[in-house]
Structure 1
Amino acid sequence: MYRYHFRAQCRENIDLERLFREALPVLQIRMKEFGACHLSLFHFGTQLFLYYESPAQTADPHELFAHCEDALETWPGTDKPRRWVPMMDIFHYQQPINENHWLRKNASARPYARIAHLKPDKVASYVFYHYQYQEEKPGDGDKYGMIALHENLMFFYSEDPATVDKPSYSGKLSTSNTPSDWAGTMEPHFIPWDQPAEHSRIWLEIPLIIRA
């Protein structure tokens, strides 16, 4: 089972909810054709954050959203025009072993997502600490929770209620160096959001547009 994360930029003055609600029936057909599942699309303003899974190693979002991608801006950086840019997995609580291991046991669990900005000079440190944590304490949080990175913007996908169980594999590290004061160690890495005091200044929860 492969996990996919992508980022896109919608054109101005587009009704995102209407666009993707109307696109959903065709999207569901394309998902069956290309073997994609557990798809969730979130947004922050005109920015889009996409998560889905597939047993196929090549499940291209451009195929899934071909019928509505004219509403998306084109990103530079490759020979062919692209609307979706991949985000890199920099942390996961568990990794899929096989399809059976990855089956959802709680049908009521709902996807949710948060985003955060890293200070550019803290990206390497953040990745280092998270790889260490991931490999020293696999299964320490939501089984389906993971963080993906594009530039210095992070997309944290998870499900609520969380599924917490012990994985059938061991981490790649036998050390125990994960800081005990995790929150205190992480705080200097972030560019804070300008939010009311009752909300997190680090992680900003973003709304779900569609799930399929």
Structure 2
Amino acid sequence: MCTRVYITAIYPSEIVAPMKQGATTETTPVRLIARPGTGLSSDDEHLFRDLLERFAVLAETCFRFSRGIYLRVSGSPEPNTEDAVRRNLSIARRVFAEGLLEILAVVYLKKSVNLAELQATLGGTSAELLRRKLRILQASGLVQTAAPYERADQAHYTLTHKGTIIARLGEPVFLYLRLAEGWIKSAIEETATAETEASDKIDQASA
């Protein structure tokens, strides 16, 4: 499989999602079409389209899942906007603020990590500040310390069941952003290269 599609940023410069007039993303599957002349091999282009189609299906599934939860809890498939904004902001500020999401992402991928390893991975964060953030995550029930330890710096941190569920739900978001970042980076690099080549030709013609 051509996994380099999302590792080395060789994406089409534009994705077009044609839709029937009057249709919405809630009812019409998005068909992603790469602009011709991107230089992708047929295998890479097929994989790229397949990945984006999968994310589109996942996004629609998540949307319908959320509406189903609202329906079961409140009797309506639509949330109370003001209440949802207030509660979601509270959760975002409590759980995902101050770099806490970064810690969750690292602990999730490394499975178990001590303070020194976490500090080295994140960089630029003092041990005391990192301990404070870990205490916040522990108080929220997302992170726990593993086996008994004698000194605080020997503690290994792992995700709780709740933390693991959150990380697994969030992992596709990171994957999609990696895909999109590679596509954007590629487009920027291609534009910069084209401009440089054009400038060189002008300089050569003027010489």
Q: With structure 1 as the length reference, what TM-score do the two structures score?
A: 0.24
Which structure is higher in RCO with an 8 Å CA cutoff and minimum separation 6?
1
Structure ID, larger Rg: 2
TM-score normalised by length of structure 2: 0.25
Q: Give the structure with the larger strand fraction.
A: 1
